[in-house]
Amino acid sequence: MPIPGGLLTTAMAVMPHTDVDRALEYALSLDIPFWPQLPLLNYYEDMYVQAAEHFPGIVPDAENRTLSFSTERFMAELDNYMAAMDSPETFDVSRDYSAVYHRFLELDLSDRPAIRGQLEGPVSFGFNVCNENDRPILFDDTVRPVMFEFMARRINIQLQRLLKKNPNAFMFVDEPGLQFLFSAMSGYGDIQAKTDLDEFFAMIDRPRGIHLCGNPDWDFLLGLDIDILSMDVYTNGDILAASASSIKRFLDRGGILCWGIVPTNMEPFSAETMDTLSNNLENVWQRLVTKGVDRDRMLSQSLLSPATCCLVNPDIGITVEKGFRTVRNLSARLREKYRLG
């Protein structure tokens, strides 16, 4: 199994730090490290901006910290983009767009049980980036297929680089926009999304999965051809129990669940203890077990992480760092309790 389980630790990549060394130190403090994204450091560290690098038609505005799309520019740049598709640099993250990525790749990561990368997913990117008519480019039938292939190629190039550092590398496709898929938003529904995402993941090398902090249709996500699903169980634990049959099928085919259980926002974090967090998570597990999910299989195919990223705390990175330490301590406690080695 290339993605380990056994309640080892990882985290989502967006961090509030402006100290690159400190952010990397905390990313490396977890069992499965990753390269941090630092949007408070500069504009290009924003996850949408990073994903947009070299995409035809994109109009970045660092001064106003906006990202838009020009249909005219897309058509003008498309031929040059197509001509450059054989170049890995077209799809990799450049040094200008990440302060950490290339430093991460320079480290010796061979002794880790796994390492992880990430990229913003096409649904969220397409919802977030709008054209000159203020319409999300996800709704554009000409742009959408180019965008999905572009993101797939970017994920594959990054995964290839990570696999050279560790044979158990894998990728998170960050898709917060999937929670809006079944809302009243017109122009892009679940049937189109299922078709597009099936084709998208068919273009992506394994191992690959989805991370999001919101509350989507869990049965929809668990039915996609992914190897890992990272979720905010701290907020959505009660809802997840209703998807026990989908979780069981996901585990039966070898899927890994990453349980985001430790809040990183100051107020909820201060209200919790190791006991309350452990009880919260174990109660979710017990509800799933009573509905037919095998506990031993579930724990052997599970990771632990913070519940969400957080950029808005007055203390900047202090609570986030406490959250990372709590995840490590909670992992040690539960691994000992369930004899996971």
Q: Domains in the chain, please, with CATH?
A: 8-337 (3.20.20.210)
In terms of pTM, does the model score above 0.85?
Answer: yes
| Per-residue pLDDT at 341 | 75
Give the pLDDT of residue 191: 82
Q: In this predicted structure, which of 118-132, 149-163, 173-187, 276-290 has the lowest mean pLDDT?
A: 173-187
In this structure, the chain runs to a length of 341
What pLDDT, on a 0 to 100 scale, did the predictor assign at position 182? 63
Q: Give the pLDDT of residue 221.
A: 92
What pLDDT sits at residue 215? 83
pLDDT higher at 123 or 183: 123
What number is the average pLDDT over the span 43-70? 96
Average per-residue pLDDT for the chain? 95
pLDDT at 241 over 90: no
Statement: residue 260 has pLDDT above 90:
yes
Percentage of residues of the chain with pLDDT beyond 70: 98
Per-residue confidence (pLDDT) for residue 216, from 0 to 100: 82
Q: Is the pLDDT of residue 187 over 70?
A: no
Residue 18: φ, ψ to 5° = -115, -5
* Predicted local confidence at residue 296, as pLDDT: 97
The answer to whether residue 58 scores a pLDDT higher than 60 is: yes
pLDDT at residue 293, as a whole number: 97
Q: How confident is the model at residue 8 (pLDDT cuts 50, 70, 90)?
A: very high
In this predicted structure, the answer to whether residue 297 has a pLDDT above a threshold of 70 is: yes
Neighbours of 93 (CB within 10 A): 23
Rounded Cα gap, residues 248 and 245, in angstroms: 5
pLDDT level of residue 158 (50, 70, 90 thresholds): very high
Band of residue 186 on the pLDDT scale cut at 50, 70, 90 = low
Q: Which residues of 298-311 are buried (b: 16+ CB within 10 A; e: fewer)?
A: bbbbbbbbbbbbbe
Question: What is the pLDDT at residue 217?
Answer: 87
Neighbouring-strand partners of residue 257: 229, 302
- Over 60: is that where the pLDDT of 126 sits? yes
Predicted confidence band at 183 (pLDDT cuts at 50, 70, 90)? low
Instruction: Count how many Cα atoms sit within 13 Å of the Cα of residue 252 in the half-sphere of its side chain.
Output: 9
User: Given this model, what pLDDT does residue 185 score?
Assistant: 56
Mean pLDDT of 126-130: 94
Beta bridge partners of 304: 9, 259
Is the CA virtual torsion 104, 10, 201, 231 positive or negative? negative
